[in-house]
């Protein structure tokens, strides 16, 4: 395992501070989501809350143990950087322009740079021997494949009929942009990461262990965020489909279980 550059931890702390600024602004300033549809604004505040009470504390813990050289913490650090890249690329491109635009860009830009640097410091050939024989490789692989496939089916169920019929998908009615940014990022990042990670893990390929770790980190951040969004929407009197509750609960529960098993199995 190669050492990460000395500047990685300070820059990660800067990212964490910027995420805190963006999240507090989303929760406390009405102007942040003033131009969004009611459901989008509600979901944005829910994610801001999860960032503050769950993701940022988890990020701080991983940074502490990354400094101590713990390999499992490095995987967690990279996974949360992926979450920040995804979340704030979405905010930059999918939300109406607001006073946090440059903050969003700074978060996803720095997170992406750190993610690339961190991935470059991992020797993939080292991944196999780091895991104990107690690691539930097959069931973990099946879970991340199922998670990716579920996300794909969720979005393609609306997108494919709209392309066939020549009518806009229903989600476009609430979007500020004229494109499906959430769906584009899910189908372009979450789905291939999960499915390819699971398949390569089943085949015992070294990269599969790494990709699966990133997918699990995505699960333990995505799941609670979805649960919070569903709860906020319900409290606001907006309808939440039962599949969203089910999917969010399953991703949170199974994702946390397999993430814990993943960490405990790492040498």
**Measured between alpha carbons, how far is 7 from 14 in angstroms, rounded to an integer?**
11
Total-model pTM: 0.93
For 49-67, b/e burial (b = at least 16 CB within 10 A) is: bbbbeebbebbeebbeebe
Please give the average per-residue pLDDT across 194-202, as a whole number: 97
Q: Who has greater pLDDT, 128 or 102?
A: 102
8-state DSSP, 179: S
Q: Tell me the percentage of the chain whose pLDDT exceeds 70.
A: 97
For 204-230, b/e burial (b = at least 16 CB within 10 A) is: ebbbbbbbbbbbbbbbbbbbbbbbbbb
In the chain, domain spans:
8-265
The pLDDT value recorded for residue 178 is 64
pLDDT of residue 223 exceeding 70: yes
Please give the average per-residue pLDDT across 223-247, as a whole number: 91
Q: Tell me the percentage of the chain whose pLDDT exceeds 90.
A: 75
Confidence band of 116 (pLDDT split at 50, 70, 90): very high
Residue 233: closest CA among 44, 94, 98, 92: 44
Region label for 6, one of left (φ > 0), alpha (ψ between -120 and 50) or beta (otherwise): alpha
Confidence band of 200 (pLDDT split at 50, 70, 90): very high
**Measured between alpha carbons, how far is 41 from 35 in angstroms, rounded to an integer?**
8
pLDDT of residue 176 exceeding 60: no
Please give the average per-residue pLDDT across 128-157, as a whole number: 93
Confidence band of 177 (pLDDT split at 50, 70, 90): low
Q: First and final CA of the chain: distance in angstroms?
A: 12
């Amino acid at each position: 395992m190669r050492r990460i550059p000395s500047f990685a931890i300070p820059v990660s702390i800067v990212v964490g501070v910027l995420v805190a600024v963006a999240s507090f602004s989303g929760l406390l300033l009405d102007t942040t989501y003033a131009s969004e549809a009611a459901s989008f604004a509600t979901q944005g505040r829910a994610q801001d809350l999860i960032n503050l009470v769950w993701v940022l504390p988890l990020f701080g813990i991983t940074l502490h143990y990354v400094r101590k050289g713990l390999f499992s913490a490095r995987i967690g650090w990279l996974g949360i950087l992926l979450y920040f890249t995804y979340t704030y690329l979405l905010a930059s491109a999918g939300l109406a322009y607001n006073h946090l635009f440059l903050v969003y860009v700074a978060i996803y830009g720095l997170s992406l740079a750190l993610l690339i640097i961190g991935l470059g410091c991992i020797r993939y050939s080292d991944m196999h021997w780091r895991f104990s024989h107690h690691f539930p490789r097959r069931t973990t692989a099946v879970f991340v494949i199922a998670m990716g496939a579920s996300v794909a089916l969720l979005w393609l169920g609306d997108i494919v009929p709209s392309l066939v019929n020549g009518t806009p998908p229903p989600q476009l009615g609430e979007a500020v942009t004229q494109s499906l940014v959430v769906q584009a990022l899910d189908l372009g990042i979450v789905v291939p990461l999960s499915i390819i990670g699971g398949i390569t893990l089943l085949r015992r390929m070294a990269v599969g262990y790494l990709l699966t770790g990133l997918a699990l980190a995505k699960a333990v951040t995505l799941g609670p965020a979805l649960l919070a969004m569903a709860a906020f929407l319900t409290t606001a009197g907006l309808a939440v489909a039962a599949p969203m509750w089910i999917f969010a609960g399953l991703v949170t529960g199974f994702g946390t279980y397999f993430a814990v098993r993943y960490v405990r199995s790492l040498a």
